[in-house]
């Protein structure tokens, strides 16, 4: 690794893809999951598409609603 070089990770994309995969695996619609988390469906859509900057609080709500640990949202 070159000194001073910063590795970039697509954290939003990874988390979004995981949320979508887990939601579908649980048989939930975006409306179902959004309602459980207290967020708008359009916001959940942006999270799943990797375009939303989201808070740790929302990520925790998503993980809880999907019955996974929060770190599972970042593992592909």
| Tens-place pLDDT, residues 17-76 | 999 999 999 999 999 999 999 999 999 999 999 999 999 999 999 999 999 999 999 988
* Fold annotation for 11-74: 434 Repressor (Amino-terminal Domain) (1.10.260)
Cα torsion for 66, 70, 73, 76, to the nearest 10°?
-120
pLDDT at 10: 85
* Contact predicate 63/39, CB 8 Å: no
Q: Please say if the pLDDT value at position 7 is more than 80.
A: no
| pTM, entire model | 0.87
Q: What ranges in the chain are assigned the alpha helix state H?
A: 11-25, 30-37, 41-48, 56-65
Supply the pLDDT for residue 44: 99
CB under 8 Å to 8, separation ≥6 — which residues? none
């Amino acid at each position: 690794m070159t000194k001073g070089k910063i590795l970039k990770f697509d954290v939003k994309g990874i988390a979004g893809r995981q949320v979508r995969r887990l939601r579908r695996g649980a048989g939930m619609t975006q409306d179902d999951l959004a309602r459980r988390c207290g967020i708008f469906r359009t916001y959940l859509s942006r999270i799943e598409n990797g375009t939303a900057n989201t808070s740790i609080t929302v990520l925790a709500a998503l993980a809880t609603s999907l019955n996974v640990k929060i770190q599972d949202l970042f593992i592909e």
